[in-house]
Structure 1
Amino acid sequence: MLKVLLLFCLVLKVTAEEDFRVVTLDEGDVKGYKYWNGEFYEFYGVPYASAPRGRDRFKGPLPPKPWKGVLEAKDNTIGCVQQYYTNDESEVTTVGIEECLVLNLFVPKVATEKNLVPVLVYIHSGAFAIGHGNMGKYNYLAKHDVLVISWNYRLGALGFLCLGTEEIPGNAGMKDQVAALRWINKNIQKFGGDPKKVTVAGFSVGAGMAELLALSKSTEGLIDKIILDSGSALSPWAVSRDPIRLAKNIAYSLGFNETGDIKDLTKFYLNATVDSLALKKPEFLH
């Protein structure tokens, strides 16, 4: 009877271990769970950085905050603040949170620190103003021994407003993604991914940003290949030719009535609410 009980306990232990995987990071342990058919593990909502708040909210990202215990990587609903149409299409509101800088990992069962697999990062589209990392499904690649990652980045004015000032230097959304690539380079081997075989891919705006990231000196050594679909750094919408004019137009649409001086614009944006900025999605379509 004792042998049967011990065998039963051993079976339970093995089954439990196979149902999830725990990875130890500098910030704490993160726990992902096996996809229902058992071919890969899903890690949702893993912080790669922390979004600055208050008067610093337009600046580059901060390091991720440590957590206590084990982070249950189950939350696939995290998104950055953005415009949202309700069921009544005439009613517009906002959804999302400021503390949204997380990535999602889909880790093949065969991927271990002793058996590294290629990594593919997919950047979501959405005209620089809407979307989230879980817009796509990556099951096929994960089932074929590719470790797939998607991430969030700050959107709209919080991510792409540029005044060239200390408070609003610009390109916060791109800096978020550089931080994500650095996190991947540092940590992906712990999940079984090869940091030397990181391919960055995207569709439309995501493709444009993928190429801009690959061209940036800030990502040297972080990207091996890129895959571009329906967009590139040469697309007319990829780079704002006149970011100050764009910033003024958005400010005027929000009731700004000052001279348009950089100092006045900076003060206006620092005092604007996050929701009011998110509702100005159309102005970020170059």
Structure 2
Amino acid sequence: MKIKICFLLLFFQSFDFCFGSDNATYQESKKSRVRRIVGGYPAKMPPYDDPLVFINFAGRFAKVRGVLDFPHYVFRGLRFAEPPIKKERFQRPKQHFLKGDVDATRFPPPCIQPISGQNRVVGSEDCLFLNVFTPDLPIGTEGLPVVVWIHGGGFRYGSASQYGVRHLVGKRLIVVTIQYRLGSLGFLSTQSAELPGNAGFWDMVMAVRWVRNYIGYFGGNPYNIVVMGHGSGASSAMLMALNKVAKGYANGVIALSGTAVSNWAMDDDPNGVARELAETQGCPTTSALAMIKCLQSIPAQNIINADSQIQMQRVNSRGFMGAMSRSLGASPVVEGVHDGRSLPSGVEHEPFKQMSEGNIPNIPLFTGVTKEETKRAVNSVFKDEVLQSLQTKSEFLNKVLIQELQSFTAIGKESIIGSQNGLWKTLDSFKFGKYIDVAKNNVVEAFGKITEATADALFNLPAFLSVNLWSKSKAPTFLYSFDHIPKVSKAHYFLAGLPFVGNNSAQERSASHGEDLAFLFDAYTLEGEPLDLNGDFTEEDMQVRNVFVEAIASFAKHKKISFENKDLPSFSSSNNNFFQISSAPKIESNFRFCQMGLWAGLADRLQDAQCKVFNILDSELKNYQKQLFDVAGVPQKNLPKVPNVGIGGLTSHIGQNLGGIFGKK
């Protein structure tokens, strides 16, 4: 085994010690090596698999011991902030400085969170740690590019240690995976000076600040840091880039399946969450200060359990569209310009409003979606509820579905509050007639249309709006679509507990939310124990992994996307170019051209010849009221039961059992 280790020592110790060989050769090199000592005592020979990093920062000296996880080095469980416990609960993090002997050989506990389906919680409230993965120890040359990974999980689930990063580190990147407080412990807000919220967001900012300060000692370039995340982690990465305090911390943003303008990126009812949480714990609700003091004395596990109750209530009351498109508990909030404590705000403005007004940093952005973001949610997780809506709600597809989804989008919310940007507008839902049209009573086709509409409104539109607005800052801006369908679903290994994904989705093969993660990372448990899943990868899967990893590495290193010796053009509003990721990747244009024209209300697009199929501007569609399903009002006892199968099985079941209720067109 070829091993290379370099140690940088301080003061009178020898600092240029590098060797490479197997263990036998290494032992031989020890015998022949001549030690030259100038004063003091000779340094002890460190074990070849026990890397050390010596740090001198802010007047504090530290010796950090990591591990060799061949072929890279790992420094696990490095504390970046003081424990957020007792009186520090709900408060912004306080910076921690490394000093003394630091044992970085064990992964940290995850932030306390529930384990879905097991009625228990794991982790610790004292969880503000990060992990550093590097291909080399510092040897005095220019630092390597750095990727800071913010895990997803709907602000309630996930850890820094469940993502194996060897594929990215193999591209000579340093990867730092970070943790932040979850649920109400991280994001509870009364929108007041006593509790403005966003503590978990400030954890992320503090972690990236730590990376800027310390990463040079681990061989990284503190001036080439890309902040990268998935889902809620992606929206947080973009929020950080828009934050004034964090200006200059990141030199690029990678946002996978989430943006700052995604509807679930911001809490739409923070006071409601705080009130419900306090009531479940018997705490006062009339005084914010009294509420906080009471909640600070409650065991952390009780708060996590209460969060689960609130989430379940909201899933049940809001329906499947609300569960997919809105925050289900405490999450980031808009604080305003001042937080009431003379401190800078985490999120000053609604992200869509801020970006529409051109307040965007001049740093590169790479964002995108999976081709079928909501397919698993519609066809598996919420399948029974979707079918019930089709059966019991009059004009569900051509009225209820579209109108509700419109209200969830950034454009819809701007329209409601009367500050709509002039470029975007919401269309009458009946303009969507041809877009949502299906053969009468065709349930399978209806499921497909619901998948398409929810994916367009909740994922494709936010991605489109983000790159369209970001590109106007003249910074390199890139869009991708992950189109590959894996052999075996692995999303739930990374996003277990997230209602959108579910816990066991192996029956549904699709390019749904979270399926891209296995093509960048190896799956680990929350505590960092490996899960051997590579046997499920086909040769085609491996090809896709190479494409996706190379695209991420290219952006992190050079702030561009290279493909077959060609550079992907920066996104432009005229051609809407994007990178289609599959086993046969290619550069495409006109990303969801007509569909985005519909959801964003872009009249010039809707008049284009290629959008003629939708007949969007046909005035007769104003009166479009096609009854797509005529079973509304049929007693529930007379409706068929749908077995627990994927959409393929559902097709067969429909053909056998729904004919008596659903007529022919």
TM-score by length of 2: 0.39
1:73 and 2:100 correspond? no
Distance in 2 (alpha carbons) for counterparts of 1:231 and 1:125: 9
- Which of 151, 171, 175 is equivalent to 1:148? 175
1:30 and 2:75 correspond? no
Distance in 1 (alpha carbons) for counterparts of 2:88 and 2:173: 37
Distance in 2 (alpha carbons) for counterparts of 1:259 and 1:34: 51
Residue 192 of structure 1 corresponds to 219
Deviation at 1:261, TM superposition (A): 4.4
Deviation at 1:55, TM superposition (A): 2.4
- Which of 32, 42, 51 is equivalent to 1:20? 51
Residue 31 of structure 2 corresponds to 8
Q: Which runs of 5+ in 1 are unaligned?
A: none
Partner of 2:164, secondary structure, is: coil
Deviation string 1:29-51 (CA, Å, 9 cap, x unpaired) is 21122223xx3211100111113
Deviation string 1:240-264 (CA, Å, 9 cap, x unpaired) is 12311121122234445x5544345
Q: Which moved more, 1:143-152 or 1:167-176?
A: 167-176
Contact 1:201 1:228 in 2 (8 A): yes
Q: Which amino acid aligns with 1:155?
A: L
Contact 2:67 2:75 in 1 (8 A): yes
Partner of 2:47, secondary structure, is: helix
Contact 1:124 1:133 in 2 (8 A): yes
Residue 200 of structure 2 corresponds to 173
Distance in 2 (alpha carbons) for counterparts of 1:160 and 1:264: 18
Contact 1:83 1:279 in 2 (8 A): yes
Distance in 2 (alpha carbons) for counterparts of 1:66 and 1:201: 25
Percent of residue pairs identical: 31
Deviation at 1:110, TM superposition (A): 6.4
Residue 295 of structure 2 corresponds to 269
Residue 90 of structure 2 corresponds to 58
Partner of 2:75, secondary structure, is: strand
Distance in 1 (alpha carbons) for counterparts of 2:288 and 2:104: 42
Partner of 2:105, secondary structure, is: coil
Contact 1:117 1:193 in 2 (8 A): yes
Distance in 1 (alpha carbons) for counterparts of 2:132 and 2:125: 21
Alignment of 1:177-256 (within 5 A): 177-256=204-283
Contact 1:48 1:101 in 2 (8 A): yes
Distance in 2 (alpha carbons) for counterparts of 1:136 and 1:270: 31
Deviation string 1:85-113 (CA, Å, 9 cap, x unpaired) is 4xxx3x41222122211110101126544
Residue 135 of structure 1 corresponds to 162
Residue 399 of structure 2 corresponds to none
Contact 2:150 2:237 in 1 (8 A): yes
Rate the CA distance shift 1:17–1:79 in 2: closer, same or farther, 3 A.
same
Alignment of 1:39-118 (within 5 A): 39-64=71-96, 67-68=99-100, 70-85=101-116, 89=117, 91-109=118-136, 111-118=138-145
Deviation string 1:45-69 (CA, Å, 9 cap, x unpaired) is 011111332123110111216554x
Distance in 2 (alpha carbons) for counterparts of 1:253 and 1:133: 30
Rate the CA distance shift 1:14–1:207 in 2: closer, same or farther, 3 A.
same
Contact 1:59 1:169 in 2 (8 A): no
Q: Which runs of 5+ in 2 are unaligned?
A: 1-26, 35-43, 312-326, 329-665
Rate the CA distance shift 1:5–1:104 in 2: closer, same or farther, 3 A.
closer
Partner of 1:219, secondary structure, is: coil
Distance in 1 (alpha carbons) for counterparts of 2:162 and 2:112: 15
Distance in 2 (alpha carbons) for counterparts of 1:9 and 1:183: 41
Distance in 2 (alpha carbons) for counterparts of 1:193 and 1:6: 29
Distance in 1 (alpha carbons) for counterparts of 2:106 and 2:139: 23
Partner of 2:148, secondary structure, is: strand
TM-score by length of 1: 0.86
Rate the CA distance shift 1:281–1:135 in 2: closer, same or farther, 3 A.
farther
Partner of 2:177, secondary structure, is: strand
Contact 1:113 1:189 in 2 (8 A): no
Partner of 2:197, secondary structure, is: coil
Deviation at 1:162, TM superposition (A): 0.9
The root-mean-square deviation of aligned C-alpha atoms, in Å, is: 2.6
Distance in 2 (alpha carbons) for counterparts of 1:120 and 1:182: 13
Q: Which amino acid aligns with 2:115?
A: Y
Q: Which amino acid aligns with 2:124?
A: I
Rate the CA distance shift 1:252–1:191 in 2: closer, same or farther, 3 A.
same
Deviation string 1:142-197 (CA, Å, 9 cap, x unpaired) is 12210000011111111000124455331110111111111111111111111111
Rate the CA distance shift 1:15–1:252 in 2: closer, same or farther, 3 A.
closer
Deviation at 1:83, TM superposition (A): 1.4
- Structure 1 or 2: larger strand share? 1
Rate the CA distance shift 1:124–1:25 in 2: closer, same or farther, 3 A.
farther
Deviation at 1:266, TM superposition (A): 2.9
Distance in 2 (alpha carbons) for counterparts of 1:235 and 1:173: 18
Partner of 1:188, secondary structure, is: helix
Deviation at 1:8, TM superposition (A): 2.5
Q: Which amino acid aligns with 1:56?
A: E
Higher relative contact order structure (alpha carbons within 8 Å, sequence separation ≥ 6): 1
